[in-house]
Structure 1
Amino acid sequence: MVLDPNRWLELRRFRGLFESGAMSLSEVARETGLDRKTVRKYLSAKSPTAPPRRLSNGQSHKRVIDEFTPLVDAMLRAEILMKASVIHERLVKEYGFAGNYQRVKLYVQEARTRIAGDLGITPKELAGMHRRFKVIPGAQAQVDWGDEGKVLAHMGIGKVYSFHVTLSYSRDPFCCFTTSQDLQTFFDCHRRAFAHYGGVPMTIVYDRTKTVVRRHVAPGEAVPLHPEAVGFAGHYDFDIDVLAAYRPTGKGRVERQVLIVRDHVLSGRSFASVEEMDAAFMAWVPQRRAQIHKTHRDVIGERAAHDHAALKPLPVTPYLVAERQLRHVGKDCLVAFDGNLYSVPARRVRPRQLVEIRATKSQVTLHLTAPQGSGETLLAAHPRAAGRGVRVVDEKHWDGLPTGAGRRVTTGDVPPQPRRERSPAQAGPLQALFNRAAVTQVEVGRRPLSVYDELTGTRPFTTCPSTKESS
């Protein structure tokens, strides 16, 4: 019996449930309305391929992938985790395959389970597998953070982090402890690691941390790197390797080290400072290097010697990482950054102008966003303030601004003068606008209405027997 393609697609929905044991053959047969033997035939690991499509005359439709299936099976037997995209690329390049990638992908999904069954690999084991890679000495290091929590809470330090580097060839470790994960601290830890190893590896593997990746993108797109990470890597001459999202196995060597350091250095001990924690790690390093690693079965210290010899030399001058931000200039020629205020020259800026801040651990410099005619962008340089609410001002920056010296200032040395009241004779119409008491002193003229008639050229109002006068 050959299934109709629509019935086959319906049956495929139950493959995962059947292979995981969540549904039996009888239950799948009842759900699909098929015979139990038919369900066994098409859900069996020995024949998971889809039924061939039929033409109108009843003959099977030959697919483009059909003549290449032996090649695909051979590739999967050599590497069960080979990606369908790689298989399609090789079929097109080496064997002239003219089909699209989707056909290859669908066949690989079906064939991988069948070949894994032939090789004795269960679906659960296949899902948890990953490819182990090998590197040469000095070729790669892996970087990761560890959260050590409130180890120093009794000293008033809320949180402590551990920064880890592992040389992939030897598993030689480096670790230092910090109270921050900001940009300057991140790359300062790198410099300490390079000094510890005596050189720089060719490649460093990171996850998608915000100190390396500027923003997240969709799978398959180029990852935009942080400008300071690019500058740092260029100065020390190493390549940045960013892992795909949710791929912890890509840097499993350093992630394993985080747990090892936590167990062997921190567990059961108390510390009074970050420096004591660093010293405890450095005291443990010789013990770690004397061990035989359970994966490569060599002494870690012996492999570390080969790793260190293959590292690139350190540059003569270190790279100073600066945090860069854009801020507006206030009307008082002060720029706010990190809870503090820094002055800029009044003659070179205007209120609400956008300037760039470049901050290191010890210094804050302020720059124009566009160079002037001389190409110079630096406006001011200040020592970085400690704490918050501090104003760092260079008085020369306020040259040219009003000082307020021309303003009249009243002090308590001069007794207040009593108010002088205007006499009634001096009260006039203008004074009445400001002083209600003067209103009663204003004399109002009185004249007959005929005066207004003469001025306007109208006849006098004579309906009344007597002429009214208006006051």
Structure 2
Amino acid sequence: MRRVREMLRLRLDAELSVQEVARRTGVARSTLREMLQRFAASGLPWPLPLALTDKGLELRLYGETGTKQGFRRRAEPDWAALNRELKKKHVTLQILWDEYIEAHPDGYRYSRFCELYRSWEACLPVTMRQTHLGGDKLFVDYAGDTVPVIIDRRSDKTQPAHIFVAVLGASSLTFAYATWSEKLPDWIDGHVQAFAFFGGAPRLLVPDNPKVAIIKACLYDPQVGRAYGELAAHYDTAVLPARPRHPRDKAKVEAAVRIAERWLLGKLRHRRFYSLAEVNAALGDLLVWLNEQQVRRYQRRTRRQLFEEIDAPRLKPLPNEPYALAEWRVRKVGLDYHVDVDGHFYSVPYRHAREKVEVRLTARGVEIFLRGERIAVHLRGSGDGKHTTLSEHMPASHRRYSDWTIERILAEARACGPSVALLCQVILEHRPHPEQGFRTTMGIVRLAKVYGVARLEAACERALLVSARSYGAVKSILDNRLDGQPVRRRDGEAGGAVAHPNIRGSTYYH
């Protein structure tokens, strides 16, 4: 339009001839005459208004570009609706054009359809081009599609395996790993496996805002879950979640998820898997193939080559041991200074009874904290309802009682005499559980302090003869001074066999 303005100035202001204007501007005389006719027909004044732009001048002189006289406009698609459809999973422009041409057979051809869509898309709000530094960010997410795994060969019952995806920002080296769920243990395990795959840790982790990782999604101050924060600290990295409802913040992993679904899961769609290990073995083979493919926008270099050049030298070294998942629970200490965790009871120092504590659980250990201070450590037990008690956690009176064992009780009884030892042994053997006889035998042994060893020995001898096996019976013998009296035998006990028609005798069953 600058040349049009110059031609108008030379013709209308300088009043040069058409031939001279054409010579000075380098256009054909026929083109100049056509432009002057269009200007006369447009009704525009000369000089042109200052507010008239080149775009407006072109519109007044030549109308809309790309149209011809007698041109029949084709059915125009709803570009906004197509744009929304493209955001859905597995939808492409080819699919949308197929649907459009089916509804409008005389519509635009595919190339023109794509060209018009790109022109409309160019008017949308611009997006910021992200530049990723080597070893800087690792983007993580779960794929929407799952892999069915047969868990019962007889009934062909299946369970879906979820695909954890991680991709480095600079090289786009992609990692995929199958887990049974998207819960915290599997989420943490996916990260541990990803760090091992890359051979190092990035400076930042960029997840979405899943509940297992982010307690509170916030643009300014997101709250990271405790276990996820410990994972990041273990690998000397940090968590920078994407903004809520802004998937473009993690566009790298969104693209990697699409690639994983199309190039990995698509190739596995006809295979049958019977375990999670089989799925991960198949994914591992495909990942080698995927990361060795040449990428056009990377000057036909592979993701693996870019990783070795850009990311690998800048990743942080891994710690000596991989991170072990720790779950946190809030519990209240019972009156017996034990904490119930998954059906097993762990002791804490007795002075903390009734306190509210935090329990840190790993696969092998249990740590108990009170206001940030660790007060107890135990090996993790099974949920069998049993107790794990450390003697240093018990008060002195309980510790003395807990020190009593079967061996110690029998040793104390033997020190009082053979009858005392025999009676205690009989009591312990005839109880369903030996622990149920602890108090009885301890009480009998302690009677020696009150009545003396000799009297207790005699009383236990008498108790054995009369088949008395309780603490009360022995104490009653001592209180009534029966320990010094001979045992009165029942009739027939000391003599020969009793003759009676209801008594069969020892030879009856021969």
TM-score for the superposition, normalised by structure 1:
0.52
Where do 5+ consecutive residues of structure 2 fail to align? Answer: 1-54, 57-116, 403-435, 444-466, 469-510
2:318 alignment partner in structure 1? 314
Q: Displacement, 1:327? A: 0.5
Matching of residue 302 in structure 1 with residue 297 in structure 2: no
Which amino acid letter does the alignment assign opposite residue 380 of structure 2? Answer: P
1:292 alignment partner in structure 2? 294
The structure 1 residue matched to 2:139, chosen from 138, 142, 156, is 142
SS at 2:224 equivalent: coil
Change (3 A) 1:301 1:357: same
The structure 2 residue matched to 1:336, chosen from 322, 336, 340, is 340
SS at 1:132 equivalent: coil
CA contact (8 A) 2:338 2:348 kept: no
Alpha-carbon distance in 2 for matches of 1:309, 1:350: 53
Matching of residue 323 in structure 1 with residue 327 in structure 2: yes
Q: Displacement, 1:341? A: 2.7
CA contact (8 A) 1:342 1:393 kept: yes
Change (3 A) 1:350 1:173: same
Q: Number of aligned pairs?
A: 285
Q: Displacement, 1:209? A: 2.2
1:417 alignment partner in structure 2? none
Matching of residue 187 in structure 1 with residue 188 in structure 2: yes
CA contact (8 A) 1:184 1:361 kept: no
Q: Displacement, 1:287? A: 1.0
2:52 alignment partner in structure 1? none
1:177 alignment partner in structure 2? 178
Alpha-carbon distance in 1 for matches of 2:213, 2:134: 24
Q: What does 1:365-404 correspond to in 2, within 5 Å? A: 365-369=367-371, 371=373, 377-385=374-382, 390-391=385-386, 393-394=388-389, 396=391, 400-401=397-398
Higher helix share: 2
1:163 alignment partner in structure 2? 164
Q: What does 1:16-415 correspond to in 2, within 5 Å? A: 125-127=122-124, 130-149=127-146, 151-152=148-149, 154-155=151-152, 158-217=159-218, 219=219, 221-263=220-262, 264-265=264-265, 266-296=268-298, 297-306=300-309, 307-337=311-341, 339-345=342-348, 347-351=350-354, 353-369=355-371, 371=373, 377-385=374-382, 390-391=385-386, 393-394=388-389, 396=391, 400-401=397-398, 405=439
CA contact (8 A) 2:346 2:388 kept: yes
Q: Displacement, 1:356? A: 1.3
CA contact (8 A) 1:336 1:342 kept: yes
Query: Which is greater in Rg?
Result: 2
Which amino acid letter does the alignment assign opposite residue 247 of structure 1? Answer: H
Alpha-carbon distance in 2 for matches of 1:288, 1:127: 33
SS at 1:232 equivalent: helix
CA contact (8 A) 2:135 2:312 kept: yes
Which amino acid letter does the alignment assign opposite residue 352 of structure 2? Answer: V
Please list the CA deviations of residues 231-279 of structure 1 after superposition, one character each: whole Å capped at 9, or x if unmatched: 4323323232211111112212222322333342442222111111111
SS at 1:152 equivalent: strand
Change (3 A) 1:232 1:153: same
Alpha-carbon distance in 1 for matches of 2:387, 2:272: 39
Change (3 A) 1:121 1:196: closer
Alpha-carbon distance in 2 for matches of 1:267, 1:295: 28
Q: Displacement, 1:148? A: 4.9
SS at 2:285 equivalent: helix
CA contact (8 A) 1:150 1:157 kept: no
Which amino acid letter does the alignment assign opposite residue 200 of structure 2? Answer: G
Alpha-carbon distance in 1 for matches of 2:372, 2:237: 30
CA contact (8 A) 2:150 2:273 kept: no
Change (3 A) 1:174 1:355: same
Where do 5+ consecutive residues of structure 1 fail to align? Answer: 1-45, 48-119, 372-376, 415-471
2:432 alignment partner in structure 1? none
Q: Displacement, 1:129? A: 5.1
Change (3 A) 1:157 1:249: same
CA contact (8 A) 1:236 1:314 kept: yes
Which amino acid letter does the alignment assign opposite residue 238 of structure 1? Answer: T
Alpha-carbon distance in 2 for matches of 1:183, 1:344: 27
Alpha-carbon distance in 1 for matches of 2:159, 2:370: 37
CA contact (8 A) 1:334 1:341 kept: no
Alpha-carbon distance in 2 for matches of 1:349, 1:121: 69
Alpha-carbon distance in 2 for matches of 1:300, 1:370: 45
SS at 1:222 equivalent: coil
Which amino acid letter does the alignment assign opposite residue 250 of structure 2? Answer: K
Which amino acid letter does the alignment assign opposite residue 388 of structure 2? Answer: V
Q: Displacement, 1:370? A: 5.5
Alpha-carbon distance in 2 for matches of 1:259, 1:223: 27
Change (3 A) 1:367 1:250: same
Q: Percent identity?
A: 23
Alpha-carbon distance in 2 for matches of 1:305, 1:173: 13
